[in-house]
Structure 1
Amino acid sequence: MTKSSHSSSTAATRAPDFPMGFREFLALMASLMALNALAIDAMLPAFPAIGNALGVAAANDRQYILSAYLFGSAIGALFYGSLADRFGRKPVLLSAICAYAIFAALGGFSTSFTALLGFRFAQGLAAAAMGVVALAVIRDRFSGDRMARLVSLVFIVFMAVPIIAPTVGQMILYVASWRYIFILFVVLSGVVGLWAWLRLPETLDPANVIPIRVDDVAATWREVVTNRGALGYVLASGVVMGGLFGYLNSAQQIFADIFDAADIFPYAFAAVAASIAISNWFNSRIVERFGARRVSHTALIAFILLSGAQIAAASLAHETLPIFLVLIAANMSMIGFTGSNFGSIAMQPFGRMAGAASSFQQFARTLLAAGIGAVIGQLFDGSVVPMATGFLITGLVALVLVAWSERWELFKRRMPPGTPAMPE
């Protein structure tokens, strides 16, 4: 694809030299990201079974099954962008999918908790490519509020995974060992990898190929870090995601230990995840009209207010499961209005270096979120208070970071010049 044809094809996902229609493109991008979500959420119901099988006595220690994967995903994100900018999106993506399947299989055969954590870390290393390369492919073709809308549409499909994954994991546990959850990862990654191999064209413009040189990579990372308008949103996104990961780490214990509702955990978790999917759908409908900044800033403030309500409810002596579900669903729905918009705003300045920028941003975002989420999860004390307090703190810190990024002018829409329209 030449530089001129690339710029003209950004007006629509389907172009003469781009064989995928818009819906197929959307579905494939969502499926790539869904492999990552599946490896997180399908494992949650299996924490007690894995702990019992591998001799993990402390319930909080079982959270490391999730944390190891997230830290691997963070570290892996640091490298895939540069590889994708040098060798192309497609070969890097396909190689990572193969590695994801291999380490998933090895994790399923683990005989010790230490080995399982090692293979989960390695699986996360491979899975990092799904988000980095998918976002770079999207940025190759769209930008600005149009990109924010497309990312929201991807997240709508992507969020179907957290809705159904815990239920799928639980259903596997009803009829088989937890090891078969890892076999599911292998099968589904093979299907998605074959689809990408057969249908996804290379989207990297040859004019934008960046050789891998240490000085150049360092210069790219330095440009990303020193761009105030992007850095604040990257850090804010990581902080808010930290609250989400804190919930993921402790969700199984919250439902089982606090509300004595382990049997309905997959379904309650699905209801909360559905709130994020619904908010992403609404975001896709309004973001081009109101702008990614106005929508996300409003949602972040609402997240903070809802976190205060969550603390108040958690402090009650007899907080009920329905009250908890309503508040946590409302809190999580705000992430649907911040996540994709924060990511799109942060990527806006980096068209030519989309791969390396996406890589470094995902590294910083995921590493920050994994660390915060691990801390919140380890503070679980048999109540919802640590998680709710974590929400409030992360929301306030994120608001300060966003305000700093915007030079203390919130809700101001900034349209990139010459942004092409995206088809309905």
Structure 2
Amino acid sequence: MTAQKHVRPLPLLEFVILMALITSLGALSIDAILPALPEIGRSLNVQDSNDTQLLISMIMLGMSVGQLLYGPLCDSWGRKPSLYSGMVIFTIGSLISMYSNTLEVMLFGRIIQGFGLASTRVVGMALVRDVYSGREMARIMSIIMMIFILIPMIAPTIGQLIIERSSWVMVFAAFVILAWLCTLWFGIRQQETLTPEDKKPFVIKVIFATFKSILTHKAAMSYTMAAGFVFGAFLSYLSASQAIFEQVFNIVDDFPKYFAAMAGSFGLAAYMNSRLVMRLGMMKIINLAIKGFVGLAIILLVITLIYDGVPPFWLFFGLALPLFFSLSLMFGNLNSIAMQPMGHMAGMAAAVIGFISTLMSVACSVFIGQLFNGTLTPFFIGYVVLGLAGWFMIRVGDSATTDIQD
């Protein structure tokens, strides 16, 4: 274990579980409402069902903007105060969503939710970077991702059970309860990892100077943009997953089961990555995974076109599993390799990397989602384009890598 000398780390298992739970609050807030989207649409009198997909995209938009604030706050206030303030904002956004009577109000609440949840991603990434480095950091990030995947696997089922026994409003109430339970655990057990001498004053000039220094790092920004493209492909599926299963394949009650199986491919990939990254290194895994993703996306696009946009379900599902497996192999590695040169400004680096990649992914997701026409054709065209764009940026990052420990 490569812990920084000034930090007394938690036991590895507790640290990993705590970080996974904190960073998965965003995933829970997204995935648990997927089964509720039709009911929310009816409750709020939404005319176009594609518009309910924005409830997924807008929370991600809030996260991307919020990270710009929580990056410098994380390096100025410290890791723990930053998380506490984020949970307060998240609670306000949840209450707005719970009591909204129009889609526009709920979308605003979701943006506020995301803004608060940005603290969990920034703090989580900064804490891991504070305590670990190099391949060990990538291994820890991958293990956290593996546990993180368990939440999306069960979240739709939890959401569906809550809806069957009450209403979609109680799903938002459950978010708040779990968030504060995790915050209580974090507050009691996790040591502050930002030492007084490493704190940066919250001064606008300093923030912009730090922001500029990160943006001008060619390798880090290339990998960040690659992450934005490949995560955009995933987010477009996530936003429309309920509509895909219901409208394309007429699967309603069993949606949480198939969603969990799909999420399981992410968990398996994270587990395999945690075992392989110490031997192969991040760059090799990233390059193998992007080739696999692009190849499978092209195959799925061809099959989809042959079947006029609606391939047989098991053919789609059987190929989508390895497609998302390849995608998952890249997530933790792209974030870790982009963070590598930024150890002296971990909080701000996490914010900028998260902001750019998430903003890109939201834009890609909204564009593809609004093209949904009851077939899979728009999605797989988008996957091929995004995969090729991500591959190009990875090649740019590889050519510019000089100070990254693989």
On whether the aligned pair clears a TM of 0.5, the verdict is yes
* Residue of structure 2 equivalent to 1:11: 2
Contact 2:17/2:144 (8 A) holds in 1: yes
Structure 2 unmatched ranges of 5 or more: none
* Residue of structure 2 equivalent to 1:213: 203
What SS does structure 1 have at the residue aligned with 2:10? coil
Alignment-mate amino acid for residue 136 of structure 1: A
Please state how far the C-alpha of 1:406 moved relative to its aligned partner: 1.5
Contact 2:23/2:120 (8 A) holds in 1: yes
Please state how far the C-alpha of 1:18 moved relative to its aligned partner: 2.0
Please state how far the C-alpha of 1:150 moved relative to its aligned partner: 0.6
Q: Confirm or deny that 1:194 pairs with 2:184.
A: yes
Q: 1:121 aligns with which of 101, 104, 111?
A: 111
Q: Confirm or deny that 1:40 pairs with 2:30.
A: yes
Contact 1:42/1:181 (8 A) holds in 2: yes
Q: Confirm or deny that 1:294 pairs with 2:287.
A: no
Please state how far the C-alpha of 1:303 moved relative to its aligned partner: 0.4
Contact 1:78/1:359 (8 A) holds in 2: yes
* Residue of structure 1 equivalent to 2:318: 326
* Residue of structure 2 equivalent to 1:67: 57
Structure 1 unmatched ranges of 5 or more: 1-9, 417-424
Please state how far the C-alpha of 1:11 moved relative to its aligned partner: 2.2
Q: Output one character per residue of 1:84-107: Cα deviation in whole Å (capped at 9) or x when no partner.
A: 101100011111122212321331
Alignment-mate amino acid for residue 368 of structure 1: M
What SS does structure 2 have at the residue aligned with 1:380? coil
Contact 1:133/1:355 (8 A) holds in 2: yes
* Residue of structure 1 equivalent to 2:329: 337
Alignment-mate amino acid for residue 389 of structure 2: V
Q: Give distance in 2, aligned partners of 1:210 and 1:382.
A: 51
Structure 1 residues 189-268: aligned runs within 5 Å = 189-268=179-258
Q: Output one character per residue of 1:227-248: Cα deviation in whole Å (capped at 9) or x when no partner.
A: 1110100000011000001101
Please state how far the C-alpha of 1:16 moved relative to its aligned partner: 9.1
Structure 1 residues 14-413: aligned runs within 5 Å = 18=8, 20-317=10-307, 319-407=311-399
* Residue of structure 2 equivalent to 1:421: none
Contact 1:291/1:413 (8 A) holds in 2: no
Alignment-mate amino acid for residue 180 of structure 2: G
Q: Give distance in 2, aligned partners of 1:321 and 1:351.
A: 45
Please state how far the C-alpha of 1:207 moved relative to its aligned partner: 2.2
Contact 2:218/2:400 (8 A) holds in 1: no
Q: Give distance in 1, aligned partners of 2:312 and 2:173.
A: 37
Please state how far the C-alpha of 1:46 moved relative to its aligned partner: 0.7
Contact 1:231/1:346 (8 A) holds in 2: yes
What SS does structure 2 have at the residue aligned with 1:263? coil
Q: Give distance in 1, aligned partners of 2:400 and 2:183.
A: 44
Contact 2:79/2:127 (8 A) holds in 1: yes
Please state how far the C-alpha of 1:173 moved relative to its aligned partner: 1.5
In structure 2, do the counterparts of structure 1 residues 170 and 398 end up closer, same or farther at CA, with 3 Å as the change threshold?
same
Q: Give distance in 2, aligned partners of 1:408 and 1:154.
A: 28
Q: Give distance in 2, aligned partners of 1:271 and 1:19.
A: 34
Please state how far the C-alpha of 1:218 moved relative to its aligned partner: 1.1
Please state how far the C-alpha of 1:296 moved relative to its aligned partner: 1.0
Contact 2:341/2:403 (8 A) holds in 1: no
Alignment-mate amino acid for residue 11 of structure 1: T
Please state how far the C-alpha of 1:408 moved relative to its aligned partner: 7.7
Please state how far the C-alpha of 1:206 moved relative to its aligned partner: 2.2
Q: Give distance in 1, aligned partners of 2:385 and 2:6.
A: 49
Alignment-mate amino acid for residue 157 of structure 2: T
Q: Give distance in 2, aligned partners of 1:414 and 1:127.
A: 29
Q: Output one character per residue of 1:136-188: Cα deviation in whole Å (capped at 9) or x when no partner.
A: 11101111211111100000010111111111111112111111100110110
Q: Give distance in 1, aligned partners of 2:41 and 2:405.
A: 51
In structure 2, do the counterparts of structure 1 residues 99 and 105 end up closer, same or farther at CA, with 3 Å as the change threshold?
same
Contact 1:94/1:196 (8 A) holds in 2: no
Report how many residues are paired: 404
Please state how far the C-alpha of 1:71 moved relative to its aligned partner: 0.8
Please state how far the C-alpha of 1:386 moved relative to its aligned partner: 0.7
Please state how far the C-alpha of 1:205 moved relative to its aligned partner: 2.5
